[in-house]
Structure 1
Amino acid sequence: MKEKRWVIPHTYAIIFTIILIVAMGTWLIPAGEYERHEIDGRQVVVENSFHYVEKSPVSFFEIFTSIPLGMEKGATIIFYIFLVGGAFGAIQATGAIDSGIHKLVVKMGKNEKFLIPVVMLIFSILGFTTGMAEESIIFVPIGIAIARALGYDAVVGTAMISLGAASGFIGGMMNPFTVGVAQGIAEIPIFSGFAFRAIVYIFILSAGIMYVMRYASKVKKDTSHSVMYEVEQQVSTVDKKDIHSGFQEKFTKRHMLVLFTLAGGIGINMYGVFNWDWFLNELAASFIVIGLIGGMIGGLGINKTFSSFVEGMKLVAFGALIVGFARTILVVMENGVIIDTVIHYLVNIISGLPATLNVIGMYVFQIFLNFFIPSGSGQAATTMPLMVPLADLLGIERQVAVLAFQYGDAISNSVIPTSAALMGYLAVAGIPYDRWVKFIWRLIIIWWAIAGIGLVMAVLTGVK
């Protein structure tokens, strides 16, 4: 008889379970409300205004009608994610990003000293501008081949791709799928706090580069230090030098123009955000233009451009629609009039602590939740409606609440088994999960510490 293995529940199943628990909570938790008033276009909770009201429990059928209502409430964010994903789908289909990075990585292969930092820097830029995660899986075989040819192992090749992208994703200065979504919910300017995030990003990236380089140096001196030692011994010399596997497309002038279009479009977006008060709708429209122009310049033609656009939207469907499911939690809590009661309880628990410990509590909560909801946009939709009023009542800037979400969500993606991107990297690289954990656990702790210090500094300096 086969022993049954425990299977991690599907993310949607976890969120639906939370919806059911919250619905039951509307029958058990007293209904209550805070008064709110508008300040600078934002709804802000009035301190000491909490009062209990008549109960309004959610019925069994209302649980299910709340799901389409959640989709409706999250429509702006959902379609923003779809349209941005579509634009990147069209850009990706031109082959510009793939061939450009392949050319760079192969050229860098002969400059061993600069290989790891330059490759990690490039992927980190893609991480904080486009939210690159699963998209970088395709480059792992190239990274591994070059790393092996230089006397390293598969872990080094995988790490310089995946941890480079992760460093940028953690920094998140212009990440439309995490920071953009969370700031939209928090009603603060999109991509505000850029300078502070950039400083933390530099520390995160530097720590990642030094960590990978130190490991690579140890492996080169003595291959027995590799966490993949037994596997690496079985890799043939031919495999170690095949750096062109699966990449025959040359980097052309078309590709260069597509990348210029993407870079120029992102630059216009930044200018629009800071000078024209652009928000999610304007950014989504801009990405549509970027995708269409990039597709046409890249030689896809009108039909292939739109079909690639649709394919790109398919790739982000999981994360986009999960926003609607997550917003259902808020709909149920609002209909049951318990969201303010929960916030009131949380305030009473932690209000006696220093503000720096309050934000660390938010941070730890986000780290814990990320195991169950690894989708950044889904986690933002689940937690930010609670964290924003909580931050208001505790006297913490909303920007700091977004930072706590951002770092709590992003860092653990490089180690948790529920991360689709991580599992994709390891599957392509042939690295067992336990070997990867053995390699990376110290870096995760270092990153958590850097982000924790950053959050404390954000509170002390009042980052907005």
Structure 2
Amino acid sequence: MNTESETKSETKSETKRKKFQMPHIYVILFILMALAAISTHLIPAGEFERITGPEGRESIDPESYTQVDASPAGVEEFMLAIPRGLVEAGEVVFFTLIIGGMFMVLRKTGIIEIGVNKLTTAFSTKSTAVIPVLMIAFAAVCGVIGTQELSLVYVPVIIPLLIALGYDSMVAAAVALIATTAGFMTGFLNPINTGLGQQIAEVPLYSGIELRLIALVVILGVGIIYVIRYAKKVQANPESSLVYEEDREKRETYSNPDESKSRRFTPRQKAAGVFLIGFFAILIYGVIAQGWFMLEMSGLFIVMGIVVGMAAGLTAAQVCEGFNQGFREVLVGAIIVGVARSVAVVMEDGQVMDTLIYNLGAVVGQFPGTLSAMGMFMSQLLFNFLVPSGSGQALVTMPIMAPLSDMIGVTRQTAVLAFQFGDGLGNILFPTSGYFMATLVLAGVSWHKWVKFYFPLFLIWAAIAAVFLIIAQVIQWQ
């Protein structure tokens, strides 16, 4: 009898545990969109006048805030928010689709599998070393050019290697996202957040680089240790992986390569490899020297898939089918990007976005002395949920935060750093960040599992950011 009752009790407890399931990301975003719509009925509408900012970009006049007639979201606006979000996030949506298609074509050529075999052999006795090497490289690139979106390029490239070395897709996502975020949020030569923020705040361009480099070393170092600890745990016990089930097919593909296939490149594959290297050289040149972004990179990736695929011996039909297969694999992620954008669409149409930033600025002004910089950091982090774009957030918030810093005894240099930290930390946490959600889909990692992995590091990084801001405030960093 006791055994039977214990069994029933265990069954009930298991049922209770199974009852709670994290809602689908569509559900989460729909709820956020609904809350945004409700907020347009509760928050007074207001707006700042738009003026021409640095390099001809549209900025705001911080002295011009006025309340305007309310335009709350109605049924029609709510109904159209997701389609409009898809349209407004079109660059990211199509970039996600195209990069998924292009990498599927590369997989069909066999180049990736052979390359993975060679790299796995090279790193077989020092597999952990690959993580800091990749993360330092990715952080350095992002610290100079400020393009976190390159995570979308990195993840498909490194997944096969990291899976073959005994890690998982979470490690691949973490290597790309955490490294680029560390480089972005400290941005020692980053034109997108540091450069633009300093221009708006009228601070000498790229001044204060010494403290930013120290912050980069500390933040990136902590990130590397965090990723390595998880990676070693997965390598020692694959079932401890947060994405163990999701990675089943990848493990079969990359951990157990088909021995019947030659591990040497054929002459055509070698030629395709040369083309591939050439295209990546063009990509680097375009991003650094020509200011390319997603539109230009998308076009290059289409040409890359076609040229490399056919050079490796694929027929035109095989190349096309490769693109189609890749499109299907990342379709959900591409749609998520547009759905996430709909939250901001609702608030912009309801004219409450400017009201929020105006009131956030007022709240920051109430913080006592040494905590004023912390108030700026928190307000930037909260606003990042609505505007995850670094340049977009700079153009909206810095015209207010820069003069406000003069009034509350915070140097403008510190105000820029608070903006950088607040913008960067949230970019890989909030589901409204388009490139971040698209990167997770390319990695095959769900948002809620990523949050489970990343949130402890988020808290650690937030504490480190707070320490640096307090130091900057105490020394009146210029």
Same fold (TM over 0.5): yes
Q: CA deviation at 1:255?
A: 4.5
Corresponding position of 1:116: 128
Distance 2:234 2:28 in 1: 41
Which of the numbers 138, 144, 165 marks the counterpart of 1:143? 165
The yes-or-no answer on 1:408 pairing with 2:422 is: no
1:56 is aligned to 2:78: no
Counterpart AA for 2:355: T
> Does residue 380 of structure 1 match 2:388?
yes
Q: Using a 3 Å threshold, how does the CA distance of structure 1 residues 15 and 442 change in structure 2: closer, same or farther?
A: closer
Classify the secondary structure of the residue corresponding to 1:37: strand
What are the equivalent positions in structure 2 for 1:33-432 lying under 5 Å apart?
Answer: 33-39=47-53, 40-109=55-124, 112=125, 114-118=126-130, 120-122=132-134, 129-131=150-152, 132-133=154-155, 138-139=160-161, 142-144=164-166, 164-171=175-182, 206-207=221-222, 245-248=256-259, 249=261, 250-252=263-265, 254-352=268-366, 356-358=373-375, 360-361=377-378, 365=382, 380=388, 388-395=395-402, 401=419, 404-410=422-428
Structure 1 counterpart of 2:23, which letter? P
Partner of 1:176: none
TM-score, normalised via structure 1 length? 0.66
1:379-415 deviations in Å (ceiling 9; x for gaps): 837x9866751233212788975664444344899xx
The farther-off stretch of 287-296 and 277-286 is 277-286
Deviation at 1:73, TM superposition (A): 2.1
CA distance in 2, matches of 1:181, 1:324: 22
Q: Letter of the aligned partner of 2:315 in structure 1?
A: G
* CA deviation vs aligned residue, 1:24-81 (integer Å, no higher than 9, x gap): 2222211111111112221111012110111112212321023222222222332233
In the alignment, is the contact (CA less than 8 A) between 1:125 and 1:165 conserved in 2? no
Aligned counterpart in structure 2 of residue 21 of structure 1, from 35, 38, 59 = 35
Name the CA distance, whole Å, in 2 between partners of 1:461 and 1:302: 59
Gap runs ≥5 in structure 2: 1-11, 140-147, 185-189, 200-204, 241-253, 403-411, 432-438
Contact 2:181 2:424 in 1 (8 A): yes
C-alpha contact 1:83 1:284 (8 A) present in aligned 2: yes
Q: 1:86 to 1:456 in 2, by over 3 A?
A: farther
**Kept in 1: contact 2:332–2:441 (CA 8 A):** no
Deviation at 1:311, TM superposition (A): 2.4
Distance 2:172 2:326 in 1: 21
- In structure 2, the CA distance between the partners of 1:389 and 1:379, relative to structure 1 (3 Å rule), is closer
In structure 2, give the amino acid aligned to 1:246.
Answer: P
Farther off after superposition, 286-295 or 117-126:
117-126
Structure 1 364/346 Cα, relative in aligned 2: closer, same or farther at 3 Å?
closer
Equivalent-residue separation in structure 2 for 1:54 and 1:363 (angstroms): 27
Change (3 A) 1:167 1:203: farther
8 Å contact kept, 2:101–2:323? yes
Instruction: Give SS of 2:165's match.
Output: helix
**In the aligned structure 2, how far is the partner of 1:87 from the partner of 1:293?**
11
**Matched residue of 1:49: which SS?**
coil
Contact 2:425 2:458 in 1 (8 A): no
Q: Return the TM-score normalized by structure 2.
A: 0.64
Q: 1:386 to 1:207 in 2, by over 3 A?
A: closer
| Structure 1: gaps of 5 or more residues | 145-155, 174-178, 230-242, 370-377, 414-418, 427-432
Please state whether the residue corresponding to 2:73 is helix, strand or coil: coil
Q: What does residue range 433-452 of structure 1 map to in structure 2 within 5 Å?
A: none
Q: For residues 131-188 of structure 1, what are the alpha-carbon distances to aligned partners after superposition, in whole Å with 9 as ceiling and x for unaligned?
A: 34477555555323xxxxxxxxxxx788876654455444567xxxxx99999x99x9
State percent identity of aligned pairs: 26
Q: 1:218 to 1:8 in 2, by over 3 A?
A: closer
Let me know the Cα RMSD of the aligned residues: 5.0
Q: Distance in 1 between matches of 2:170 and 2:477?
A: 34
Contact kept? 2:103, 2:326, Cα under 8 Å: yes
For residues 266-296 of structure 1, give each alpha carbon's deviation from its aligned partner in whole angstroms, at most 9, with x where no partner exists. Answer: 3323322343343432222222222222222
* Equivalent position SS for 1:7: coil
What secondary structure is seen at the aligned counterpart in 2 of 1:44?
Answer: strand
> What SS is found at the alignment partner of 1:307?
helix
Instruction: Give the Cα separation in 1 of the matches to 2:219 and 2:275.
Output: 28
Paired residues in the alignment total: 395
Check the 8 A contact 2:78/2:346 in 1, yes or no: yes
Q: Note the C-alpha offset of 1:244.
A: 5.9
* Counterparts in 2 of 1:276 and 1:106: CA distance versus 1, 3 Å: closer
Distance 1:198 1:260 in 2: 35
Q: What amino acid is aligned across from residue 86 of structure 1 in structure 2?
A: G
Deviations 1:80-135 (A, max 9, x none): 332233323322332323321221112332xx3x4321365258758975534477
Task: Report if aligned partners of 1:100, 1:255 keep a CA contact under 8 Å in 2.
Answer: no
